[in-house]
Amino acid sequence: MVIYMFYPISTLVCNFCIPLSCSVAFLLSVQSTVRCDPIPDGVLHMECHDRFFMIAIDLSFTGEDPYFEAVDETGVYTITEEYAAMCGYSVSSIPQTGYVELRASYFSCHTDNKDDKEFAFNFNLIATHKEKVATYALNNTCSPPLPWSAREVTCEANYMEVSVRSDISCPTGTKKDDWDAVVQTAYFAAVSDWQVVFQRAEQELMPMALSDARKQGYAFDLTDGRLVFRTPYGQPDSFSTTVNGVPVEVVHATLFSRQTWAVLMVDLVAACSMHEGSYDESGYMTWETPEVLHPLMSGLHETRINIGANGELVEQPVAEERGYMVEQYNSTVRISIPYNAEGGYRKSAVSGDLYEFYIFSLYLEQISVDEDDVDTRLRFHRVLTTPLLPCPVFTENRTVLEERTFTVYLGDVPADVELAAVRLNEHQYSLATNATNHSVTQVVHPNNTHGYTVTVPFDDPAVIKRFSKEDAAMQHMLDINYTLTVRPENEQFSHLVSVMALMDVSPPAFAAVCSESGISFKLDHRPSDYLWEIRIGLDPLTSELAAQHGYIMTNNSQSLLLDVPLFTNGYEYKDVTLKGFSGTFEILVRDRETSEVQSATVKTCPFSSTELIMCSTDGRMTVVADFSAAIPSGGVPARTNLVDKYCGPKEADSTRALFSFPLNSCGSTVKLGKEYVTYENEIFFSRKLRNLKNPSFSSSDISRVTVQCTYPLAGLYRLFSAYKFESDTAGVGRIVHSALSTEGPQSPTVKPTIALQTPVPVTSRNKRPGYRPPAQYIKVSSFLKRLQKKGENQSSQIKVNAGIF
Ligand SMILES: *[C@@H]1O[C@H](CO)[C@@H](O)[C@H](O)[C@H]1NC(C)=O
Ligand SMILES: *[C@@H]1O[C@H](CO)[C@@H](O)[C@H](O)[C@H]1NC(C)=O
Ligand SMILES: *[C@@H]1O[C@H](CO)[C@@H](O)[C@H](O)[C@H]1NC(C)=O
Ligand SMILES: *[C@@H]1O[C@H](CO)[C@@H](O)[C@H](O)[C@H]1NC(C)=O
Ligand SMILES: *[C@@H]1O[C@H](CO)[C@@H](O)[C@H](O)[C@H]1NC(C)=O
Ligand SMILES: *[C@@H]1O[C@H](CO)[C@@H](O)[C@H](O)[C@H]1NC(C)=O
Ligand SMILES: *[C@@H]1O[C@H](CO)[C@@H](O)[C@H](O)[C@H]1NC(C)=O
Ligand SMILES: *[C@@H]1O[C@H](CO)[C@@H](O)[C@H](O)[C@H]1NC(C)=O
Ligand SMILES: *[C@@H]1O[C@H](CO)[C@@H](O)[C@H](O)[C@H]1NC(C)=O
C-alpha cells in the first residue's frame, strides 16, 4: 500500500518548476520498424478503468512470449520487467484467462497527459506467429470519469505509486524530530537543484540528485496539478515492517530544494501491505491490510472499502452476492473471498493425482478522509491463490447385465482436462481411432464439468472371462485405466476402475459333423461343465450307455468325442427314398439342479444305404430291399410284392425296391409273445409274372425276403384298446433273404446283405459277448437286450391273422 505524504512547506512549493516532467529518456530502446498489421476482431480488448488503462490480448493470437513497447514522440521503449516497475506498467498473463494483460497507470512514463483529464496511450504489441515476429500498433485515449482525490495511492503488482494534488495544505501530526533532521540535511547540502533523501530508521540521510534517484529505479513527475512518485518493490531504500502483524513495505522519500531564502520540502511515504494471502479450511482466501499503514497516516478516519476482481470494483450487493467479505478488527482489514467465487479462475494441476487451484485477482479500494477533509484513495492489485486442492474424478458402474455390456461413467472431469486414452485390461486404445467394439462418448454438464461413458461388450476380446465356482457363474472382469490430460500443459494422470459382472454360464454346445457312417459330436470341456448333465433321450450319457448303444465315446481332460454310428439307438429317420434318407440325432443338456433341459444339439445328416428296414412308432414298416443277388435269374424289382399281392413297391430301381406300409396290412402276420409282438411280411420276387389263375408255379422261380418288426408289448399298451398303433419306441426290424421256401430262414441261399452294423450291446450280463445277430437290426433299444436274454423261450408265440386289427 502506498501512502503518500506530501508536506509542502508552503503552498508556493508547487508553483516552482520542479524538473520532474522531463521524460525518462535514458531507457530508449532499439528503434524497430512498426508495421501496422490489423488485429482480428475479438482478440484485442482495450478498456479505460478509473485509474489505469488496460489492454488484454488473446494468448492464442500472440503466440509465445509476447511483449509490449511504449511509444511516445521521443521514441519506442521496450517494457521489460524492470522498466515496467519503474514506469508504471504491469504486464501479466494468467493462462486461465487466456489473455496477456497490460495495465498502464495514467501517470506511466510514456502517456500523453492533458491536464490530468485526458490520457493518450501508444503501444506496440510484438507477437510471434509461426516464428515470424509481427508488430501491432495499439493506441487509445482515456478520460477517467472519476475525479482525482487529493491523494491517490496504487499498490500495483510490481510497484507502488503515489500522486498528490500540488495545492494540498499541510497536514498536522508531523513527527517533529524526523522533520528537523531532514531540514538539517537539506540545509547543509547546499544544493540549489531538487534533491531527494530516502529515510530509513536509524540510518544516515544521504541526499542524492533526482537523476541519480531515477537511475536507481525511482520515478518522479509533476503533472498539470499533481506530483507523482513511483517506486518498485524491494528497493534498497525501502524497509519492511509489520503493522498489527501484517507485513508492510515502506519507502519514505523527502524531496527538497534549498532556495536562497528557504528550504522547500515534499515528504512522500509509500507503504503497501505485503500480506501474501492465506487459505483456510473453510474454503476462503483471505488477505489483510492494516487500517493504518504508516504512523504518518494515523489521522485518517471514515475509512470505506470497496472490493472487486480483475481491476473492476463491484457494488456492495454484488460483492455480498458473490460471497466477498470485508471485516475490520484490531485495526486490520481482512478480506475473505470464497475459493471458487465469481471473478476468479480455476486451474487443474497434476501432482500424482488431479488437483485444482483457484486464482483471484483482488482489486481493493480504501477511501479515507483526514481531519482536514483531505481524501485519500488507496488501490490494491493483489493476486490470491489457493493451495492445491484435491479434485477427484469419480467413476460409476452403470452396467445393466441384460445388455451384456459394461457401461462405466467417469464424471467430474474439469473443463481443462480431457481423456487421452483408455486401457481396457491389457489393451491400450487411443481415442483418435474409432474402436469397433467398445465406445467412448463424452457428456458435457452445465456446471463446467464433463464426463465420459465407456461401453465395452462382455464378449469384447479385452474382457477377461473366468468361471467362478463360488458363484457358479462366469465372471466378466474389466479394469479400465483412463489416461487424462490437463490442458494446456499436457500433464497426464490416470484413474483406474475395476468392474465385474457375473453372468449365468451358457450350457455346453456340441459341434457336430456328418460322416458316411454316422454323426460325430465334439464338446470342449469348460470348468462349468459340472453344472450340466448330458442326455441321450431320457438316459444320461455315460460310458456304459455309450457301450450299450454302440456309440464310440472318447473323453479326456480337453474334450468329449461321441461318434454315433448310423442306425444306433436315438436316430430319427425321414424322407426315405431309394437314393437315401436323413438321419437326425439329438443330444440334450439338462441343468443338474433344476433338471430342466437347457439346450439341445440336433444334427441331421443325409445318408444312403443299400438295404434297410425301419419300424416306426406309429406302426409303419419301411423297407428297402436289395435283389441284386437274384437279378441274374431275371427278376425285376418293380414287380415285387408283399404277401398281399396288391401291395407293390412305392419305388424301385434296377436292383432295389422300397416298401412302406402299415404293419398290420398287406398280409402281415402277427406273432404275439409274452413280451413282444412281431409283425412279419414277405417280399416276393419272381422271374415270371405271378399267374393268379395258376398259383402252382414252380417255387424255384421265386425269391423271398422276410421282413419283420418287433415291438415290446410293454410299450404298446394301446395295442388292444384302440385302432391306432402307437409305440413308445421304434420297433426292431429284420430282413431275411432266402431263395427257397424249403430251406429254413436261418440258412438262406441268398446271403444276407450286411447293410447295417448294429451291434448288440456288450454288457457284463450278456452271456454271449461279441454276439452279432444273423440279420440286420435297425433300431436297437433297451428292450432288445431283454429280448435277447429271453429269446430262447418263444414257446408262447401265437400266430394271429394280421387282419384282426
Ligand atoms: C490509433 O489507431 C488507429 C487505428 O486503430 C489509427 O487510425 C490512428 O491513427 C492511431 N492514432 C495514433 C495517434 O496513432
Ligand atoms: C485482536 O487482538 C487481540 C489482542 O492482540 C487478540 O486477542 C484477538 O484474538 C485479536 N482478534 C482477532 C479477531 O484476531
Ligand atoms: C469415427 O466414427 C465417426 C462416426 O461413426 C466418424 O465420423 C469419424 O470420421 C470416424 N473417425 C475415424 C478416425 O475413423
Ligand atoms: C471386436 O470383437 C470381436 C469379437 O467379439 C473380435 O473378433 C474383434 O477382434 C474385436 N475387434 C477389436 C478391434 O478388438
Ligand atoms: C456436475 O453436474 C453433473 C450432472 O448434473 C453431476 O453429476 C456432478 O456431480 C456435478 N459436479 C459437480 C462438481 O458439481
Ligand atoms: C494406467 O496407465 C498409466 C499410463 O498408461 C500407467 O502409467 C499406469 O501404471 C497404469 N496404471 C495401472 C494400475 O495399470
Ligand atoms: C457393477 O454393476 C453390475 C450390474 O449392475 C453388478 O453386477 C456389479 O456387481 C457392479 N459392481 C462392480 C464392482 O462391478
Ligand atoms: C468326461 O471327463 C470329465 C473329466 O475329464 C468328467 O468330468 C466328465 O464327467 C466326463 N464325461 C462323461 C460324459 O463321462
Ligand atoms: C419258458 O417258458 C416255460 C413255460 O412257459 C417256463 O416254465 C420257463 O420258466 C420259461 N423260461 C424263461 C427263461 O422265462
Ligand nearest to the CA of 500: 7
Phi, psi of 542 (to 5 degrees): -130, 170
DSSP 650-683: SEE-SSEEEEEEETT-TT-EEEE-SSEEEEEEEE
User: What are 307's three cell numbers?
Assistant: 472490493
338 belongs to a structural domain? yes
Q: Grid coordinates standing for 486?
A: 490437463
- pLDDT value at position 721? 52
Rounded to an integer, the average pLDDT of 632-652 is: 84
The whole-number pLDDT of residue 285 equals: 95
Kindly indicate the confidence band of residue 265, based on its pLDDT and cuts at 50, 70 and 90: confident
Facing residues of 466 across strands? Answer: 475
Ligand at minimal distance from the CA of 428 is 6
- Specify the 3-state DSSP secondary structure of 182: helix
pLDDT recorded at residue 113: 94
Burial degree of 140 (CB within 10 A; 0-12, 13-18, 19+): middle
The answer to the question of residue 127 being in a domain is no
Distance CA(619)–CA(516), nearest Å, equals 28
Position 188 confidence tier, pLDDT thresholds 50, 70, 90: low
- Decide the pairing of beta strands 375-385 and 151-155: parallel
Q: Which helix (H) or strand (E) holds 543?
A: helix 543-549
Average pLDDT value for residue range 497-520: 91
Instruction: Annotate 468-501 with b (16+ C-beta within 10 A) or e (fewer).
Output: eeeeebbebebebbbbbbbeeeeeebebebebeb
586 shares a domain with 461: no
Residue nearest to ligand 8 atom 9, measured at CA: 530
Measured CA to CA in angstroms, residue 682 lies from 425, 571, 687, 694, 797 at distances of 72, 26, 16, 20, 19
Task: Say which amino acid occupies 512.
Answer: A
Query: Exposed, middle or buried, 389 (CB in 10 Å: 0-12/13-18/19+)?
Result: middle
- DSSP H helical ranges for 418-529: none
Closest alpha carbon to 45 in 84, 102, 111: 102
pLDDT of the residue at 692:
52
Ligand 1, atom 11: nearest CA belongs to which residue?
139
54 has a pLDDT exceeding 60? yes
Which three cell numbers, joined as nine digits, stand for 292?
Answer: 493504518
Same domain, 462 and 333: no
Of residues 585, 581, 563, the one with CA closest to residue 572: 585
Query: 757 CB under 6 A from ligand 6?
Result: no
535 and 456 co-located in one domain: no
State whether 622 and 736 are in the same domain: yes
Q: Are residues 675 and 782 in the same domain?
A: yes
One-letter amino acid identity for 584?
A: T
Q: Is the pLDDT of residue 179 over 90?
A: no
Question: Between these two residues, 5 and 642, which has the higher pLDDT value?
Answer: 642
CA distance 414 to 436: 28
User: What pLDDT does residue 745 have?
Assistant: 34
What does pLDDT average to over the chain?
A: 80
Check residue 409 and give its pLDDT: 97
Distances (CA, A) of 744 to 667, 680, 704, 735: 21, 15, 12, 14
Mutate to test the pocket of ligand 1, among 139, 141, 142 (most ligand atoms within 8 A of CB): 139
509 pLDDT higher than 90: no
Report which ligand 5 atom has the smallest distance to the Cα of 394.
9
**Interval 727-750 mean pLDDT:** 57
| Cα-to-chain-centroid distance, residue 598 | 37
Question: Nearest ligand to the C-alpha of residue 458?
Answer: 4
- In the Cβ-directed half-sphere of 762, how many Cα atoms lie within 13 Å? 11
Together in a domain, 380 and 425: no
Counting ligands in written order, the one closest to the CA of 396 is: 7
- CA neighbor of 582 nearest in space, from 614, 609, 607: 607
Q: How far is the C-alpha of 128 from the C-alpha of 119, rounded, in Å?
A: 29
According to the per-residue pLDDT averaged within each range, which of 3-17, 125-139, 540-554, 775-789 is highest? 540-554
Output the CA 594–ligand 7 centroid distance in Å: 26
Q: Is the C-beta atom of 139 inside 6 A of ligand 1?
A: yes
521-540: average pLDDT:
89
Give residue 154's pLDDT band: very low, low, confident or very high (50, 70, 90).
very high
- How many CA atoms within 13 Å lie on the side-chain side of 602? 6
Ligand minimally distant from the alpha carbon of residue 327: 2
> 220-229, 581-590, 745-754: which range is least confident on average?
745-754
**Which residue owns the Cα nearest ligand 1 atom 3?**
139
Cα-to-centroid distance, 555 and ligand 8 (Å)? 6
pLDDT at 29 over 50: no
Residues 620 and 583 in one domain: no
Query: Residue type for 135, please?
Result: T
Tell me which residues have their CB closer than 6 angstroms to ligand 3.
433-434
Determine whether the shortest distance from the Cβ of 560 to ligand 8 is under 6 A.
Answer: yes
CA of 480 to the centre of ligand 4 (A): 17
pLDDT value of position 722: 53
Assess whether pLDDT exceeds 90 at residue 387. Answer: yes
Task: Please check the confidence at residue 654 and state whether its pLDDT lies above 90.
Answer: no
Q: What is the pLDDT of residue 491?
A: 93
pLDDT confidence of residue 663: 87
Q: How far, in whole angstroms, is CA 640 from its chain's centroid?
A: 78
Distance CA 394, CA 450 (A): 11
Q: Which three cell numbers stand for residue 513?
A: 459333423
Please state, in angstroms and rounded to a whole number, the distance separating the CA atoms of residues 161 and 350. Answer: 38
Written as one string, the DSSP assignment of 466-489 is EEETTTTEEEEEEEEEEEEEETTT
Residue 694 pLDDT: 52
- 533-566 burial, b at 16+ Cβ within 10 Å, e below that, comes to bbbbeeeebeeebbebbbbebeeeeeebebbbbb
Q: What is the CA(314)–ligand 5 centre distance, in A?
A: 29
Residue 706, CB-side half-sphere exposure with 13 Å CA sphere: 21
- Pick the last residue of a domain from 386, 415, 435: 386
Region 679-684: mean pLDDT is 90
- Give me the residues paired with residue 588 across strands: 535, 600
Cα 521 from chain centroid?
Answer: 43
Q: Give helix then strand counts, H and E, for the chain.
A: 7, 55
Q: Which of 94-103, 177-186, 390-399, 581-590 has the lowest mean pLDDT?
A: 177-186
Amino acid at 24: V
Q: Is residue 732 included in any domain, yes or no?
A: yes
Rounded average pLDDT over 413-427: 93
Is 22 a residue whose pLDDT tops 80? no
CATH for 478: 2.60.40
Residue 259 has pLDDT above 50, yes or no: yes
Comparing C-alpha atoms, which of 88, 244, 242, 241 is closest to residue 155?
88
Cell of 367: 477511501
Band (pLDDT 50/70/90 cuts) for residue 349 is very high
- For ligand 5, atom 4, the nearest C-alpha belongs to 445
> How many domains would you assign to the chain?
4
Which pLDDT does position 17 carry in this prediction?
A: 30
Domain that holds residue 472: 394-504
Query: Quick one: average pLDDT of 354-376?
Result: 88
Atom of ligand 3 nearest to the CA of 432: 13
Positive or negative: CA dihedral 747, 753, 754, 760 = negative
Angle (CA) 525-527-531 rounded to 5° is 95
Together in a domain, 704 and 760: yes
Q: Annotate 151-163 with b (16+ C-beta within 10 A) or e (fewer).
A: bbbbbbbbbbbbb
Q: How far is CA 60 from CA 45, 127, 277, 488, in A?
A: 14, 10, 30, 11
pLDDT at 655: 86
Assigned domain for 539 exists: yes
Residue nearest to atom 5 of ligand 6 (CA): 483
What are the pLDDT digits (tens) for 770-805?
A: 333 333 333 333 333 333 333 333 333 322 222 222
Regarding whether 684 and 647 lie in a shared domain, the answer is yes
Would the CB of 396 count as within 6 Å of ligand 5? no
| Residue 411 Cβ < 6 Å to ligand 5 | yes
74-98 tens-digit pLDDT: 999 999 999 999 999 999 987 777 8
Q: Is 20 part of a structural domain of the chain?
A: no
- Phi, psi of 749, deg, nearest 5: -75, -30
As beta bridge partners, residue 286 has 278, 336
Name every protein residue with a CB atom under 6 angstroms from any ligand 4 atom. 436-437, 459-461
Name the band, by pLDDT with cuts 50, 70 and 90, for residue 34.
very low
Mean pLDDT of 412-416: 94
- Ligand 1 centroid – CA 437 distance (Å): 60
Residue 126 amino acid letter:
I
628 and 773 co-located in one domain: yes
Answer for the pair 680, 798: CB distance below 8 angstroms, yes or no: no
Is 218 part of a structural domain of the chain?
A: no
Query: What is the CATH number for 617?
Result: 2.60.40.3210
Nearest to 54 by CA among 102, 5, 96: 102
Cβ pair 550, 777 in contact under 8 A: no
Q: Whose atoms come closest to the Cα of 480: which ligand?
A: 6
Using DSSP's 3-state secondary structure scheme, residue 88 falls into coil
Task: Give yes or no for residue 425 CB within 6 A of ligand 6.
Answer: no
Is residue 692 domain-shared with residue 547, that is, in the same domain? no
What separation in Å is there between the alpha carbon of 414 and the centre of ligand 3? 25
For residue 496, which atom of ligand 6 is closest to its CA?
13
Cis link prior to 95 (omega < 30° from 0)? no
Ligand 6 lined by 496 (C-beta under 6 Å): yes
Give whichever of 302-311, 502-511, 545-554, 668-677 has the largest mean pLDDT: 545-554
Say which range, 246-260, 418-432, 481-495, 689-703, has the weakest mean pLDDT.
689-703
Taking CA 544 as the corner, what is the angle to CA 543 and CA 549, rounded to the nearest 5 degrees?
100
Q: Is 251 inside a domain boundary?
A: no
- Among protein residues, the one whose CA lies closest to atom 3 of ligand 9: 793
Assigned domain for 700 exists: yes
Query: pLDDT grade, residue 702 (50/70/90)?
Result: low
Last residue of a domain, one of 386, 421, 456: 386
For 404, list phi and psi in degrees, rounded to 5: 55, 40
Same domain membership, residue 479 and residue 535: no
How many CB atoms sit inside 10 A of residue 691's CB? 10
Q: Check residue 417 and give its pLDDT.
A: 95
Tell me the CA–centroid distance for residue 569 and ligand 8, in Å: 21
CB-based contact 443:449 (threshold 8 Å) = no
Last residue of a domain, one of 575, 607, 639: 607
